[in-house]
Structure 1
Amino acid sequence: MENNSMTVWQFFVLTLSFLAGTSFFFLPGGLIAVAKQDAWMVPLWAGAAGVMAALIWLKLARQHPGLSIIQICTKVAGKPIGGLFAIMYISYFIQLSVFITRNVGDFMKQTLMPITPLTMFHVMLLVISAYAVVKGIDTIARSSELLFIIMAITFVLIFCMALVAWDWSRFQGSFRMNVWETLKETRYIFGFPFLEALVFLMLFPFVQSKVKRSFILAIVVATLLLSVTTFFTIGVLGVPRASHDTYPLFVIAQEVHVGTFFEHLESTIALILLAAIFIKLSIAYYCSVLGLCQLFRISSRLWVTLALILLISGLSLGYDNVVENIEFSQRYDFEYTLLYSVFIPCLLLFVTWIRKKVKRREGTAS
């Protein structure tokens, strides 16, 4: 394990940026298409489920202080089975990095640079993230502090300027959704972004103190921000339009103008998205590299990091287009992530409880 550490504030910012940064861009359109005027409610129950999952992860981390999920797997389940679980988690971290990388490629190609090959976007972002990974988690944490302030100020300014187009009549027909059908069709929001936060099981050992309070607070704040963003999107664009836009927040930025001075802010939004994706990709990338180093006891991260650039870039071309990417996320992301975020942690907690009970009986007998 590294000697690097994070403050409580840095961990909070890192978690909030991971959860909320990319969700602002990719989730509102799909949620509005399903839940219409009531789409802003969906993140609230998804966030509540995210908090419950976080309590499981925190309980597991408290049972094994100072250990990452990779080390917990090998300690609790032994080398053969625990090693298999560890490889599964590493593969999930790599797959998450692939998904994030493809998201930025699709966004840039569809909105700003349609002729540029996807690989160029992937490699450029991966090289920058790889540099941050080699430098360590403290470098990623400091970068997120700076970028978080810039992103927050930009979002607030754009939201304030876009209020000119606000129309309360766009909420007519609210509170009519079928809760069960909506829950079933929007279940992917549980996986992205809330259950994806299981990657922080790799980072808990780096936090100096108050992990639980900081982690739970970040999930709650991210939930509220995503709900407010969805509500804002409905009020500015309306349900018919927002539900047909892949990136509704980008469309809002395109149409914002104050006189002839503030206009065409979509490039600014694109830069903010790149910053948000950089933070999220760096975390997932770092967890992939750290997991490999811990499992196979590799002392240097450099060559592992460089090798993963080629692997992640290549796998990110597995989708034919952005529609296939979105369809996979909506159909399978929740079930896929549930295995790693709930089932395996609960199994590890159960085995830990059994072992402690057996040790206690042996100690009493002796």
Structure 2
Amino acid sequence: MEKSKLTVWQFFVLTLSFLIGTSFFFTPGGLIAAAKQDAWIVPLWAGTAGILAALVWLHLSKLHAGLSIVQICIKVAGRPIGGFFALLYIFYFIQLAAFITRNLGDFMKQALMPLTPLTVFHVMFLFVTGYAVFKGIETIARSSELLFLIMAATFIFVLCLALLEWDWGRFQGIFRMDVWKTMKETSSIFGFPFMEGVIFLMLFPFVQSKKVKSSFILAYAVATILLSFSTFITIGVLGVTRASHDTYPFFVIVQEIHIGTFFEHLESTMALILLVAIFIKLSIAYYCSVLGICQLFKIKNRFWITIALILLISGLAMGYDNVVENIEFSKKYDFAYTILYSMVLPCLLLLVTWIRRIRNKRTEEPAS
């Protein structure tokens, strides 16, 4: 494994950036369409479920300290079965990277450069991200520290300007949702972004501190509050009808900010924030894909793996015809697909670990 170390702060920034990186752009519109004025409540229960899942991952990592999820699969289930589980995780990380890449392409083509082919956005961004991946997780973490502060400061500034269009009347009809029906209609938010955090089982071994648990849970709590807050702001500024019909409601908010002739056309600034957020999230998914392959097949030089994955990720990112098909697929299948990797397999690995420990104790007792 790469001999790198992450501080608690760096790990917190990586986790928080990964969870909210693209979700505050792509998630509010769908939530508002399903839950109307109560959409801001949905991230709260989804985030709570995400924290419970995070406790399972942390416990699994604690039982196998110093090992990534790929190495845990092989250790617990053996080389044949464990190797198959590890391959499933690697494919999931690659698919996640492709999904993030497609989000970038759809946004750039729909909002900024409609005449540019999607592949151009994909390959250009993947080459930049691939360089960061080749340099290692410490490089990604240090870049994220700087970019996160810039992203946060710009986001807060733009948010303050957007509040000038605030109207409490847009919340009329609050607290009227059917909870069970809403949970089924918004189940995709459990998968994106909260259950995707299972990818950090690849990065836990790099954090040389006992505070990794508190840092990880805190990042989940902050991400939950921020996503709920951004949905709340979207309702208050745009209203339910407009927000539910826009693919990128937060981008629309920024487009409509006009203060005299000085503060206007800030959408390019918001696009820059999104590119930074996507860079951090894609770098993590891309890096974990490369690291998983290197660990499974015991490859020491990750350069050619990094280059090869550029073509694979770019190709997988073209699996959807358009952004509408992408959104519909996420609504229907994202939760069911993600739950396999985030809960089913980790719980299975935990169960096998406990069974083996019980057996070892029973065999040691007669010997003593």
* TM-score (norm: length of structure 2): 0.99
State the identity as a percent.
73
The one-letter amino acid paired with 1:76 is: V
Matched, 1:303 2:304: yes
Q: Distance in 2 between matches of 1:159 and 1:99?
A: 27
Q: Distance in 1 between matches of 2:281 and 2:82?
A: 27
Q: CA RMSD in A?
A: 0.4
Q: What SS class does the counterpart of residue 263 from structure 1 fall into?
A: coil
1:221-256: CA deviations, max 9, x gaps? Answer: 000000000000000000000000000000001011
The one-letter amino acid paired with 1:343 is: V
Q: 1:208 maps to which residue?
A: 208
Q: Distance in 2 between matches of 1:106 and 1:21?
A: 16
The one-letter amino acid paired with 1:326 is: I
Matched, 1:253 2:254: yes
Q: 2:94 maps to which residue?
A: 94
Matched, 1:22 2:22: yes
Q: How many residues align?
A: 366
Q: 2:358 maps to which residue?
A: 357
1:176-206: CA deviations, max 9, x gaps? Answer: 0000000000000000000000000000000
Matched, 1:168 2:201: no
The Cα shift of 1:365 comes to 1.1
Q: Distance in 2 between matches of 1:225 and 1:318?
A: 31
Unaligned runs of 5+ in 2: none
Q: 1:336 maps to which residue?
A: 337
Q: 1:82 maps to which residue?
A: 82
1:275-296: CA deviations, max 9, x gaps? Answer: 0000000000000000000000
Q: 1:140 maps to which residue?
A: 140
Q: 1:72 maps to which residue?
A: 72
1:54-107: CA deviations, max 9, x gaps? Answer: 000000000000000000000000000000000000000000001000000000
Alignment of 1:108-257 (within 5 A): 108-209=108-209, 210-257=211-258
Q: 2:271 maps to which residue?
A: 270
Q: Distance in 2 between matches of 1:360 and 1:248?
A: 57
Q: Distance in 2 between matches of 1:3 and 1:320?
A: 41
The one-letter amino acid paired with 1:114 is: P
The Cα shift of 1:163 comes to 1.0
The Cα shift of 1:300 comes to 0.5
Q: What SS class does the counterpart of residue 61 from structure 1 fall into?
A: helix
The Cα shift of 1:257 comes to 1.7
Q: Distance in 1 between matches of 2:340 and 2:59?
A: 17
Q: Distance in 1 between matches of 2:95 and 2:107?
A: 18
Q: Distance in 1 between matches of 2:91 and 2:359?
A: 33
The one-letter amino acid paired with 2:291 is: L
The answer to which of 42-51 and 158-167 deviates more is: 158-167
Q: 1:346 maps to which residue?
A: 347
The Cα shift of 1:2 comes to 1.1
Q: What SS class does the counterpart of residue 133 from structure 1 fall into?
A: helix
The one-letter amino acid paired with 2:263 is: F
Q: Distance in 2 between matches of 1:143 and 1:335?
A: 33
The Cα shift of 1:21 comes to 1.5
Q: What SS class does the counterpart of residue 258 from structure 1 fall into?
A: coil
Q: Distance in 2 between matches of 1:183 and 1:294?
A: 38
Q: What SS class does the counterpart of residue 339 from structure 2 fall into?
A: helix
Q: What SS class does the counterpart of residue 78 from structure 2 fall into?
A: helix
The Cα shift of 1:208 comes to 1.4
Q: Distance in 2 between matches of 1:161 and 1:312?
A: 37
Q: Distance in 2 between matches of 1:360 and 1:213?
A: 31
Q: Distance in 2 between matches of 1:103 and 1:336?
A: 18
Q: 1:52 maps to which residue?
A: 52
Q: What SS class does the counterpart of residue 257 from structure 1 fall into?
A: coil
Q: What SS class does the counterpart of residue 67 from structure 1 fall into?
A: coil
The one-letter amino acid paired with 1:166 is: W
Q: Distance in 1 between matches of 2:208 and 2:365?
A: 35
The Cα shift of 1:135 comes to 0.2
Q: Distance in 1 between matches of 2:292 and 2:37?
A: 42
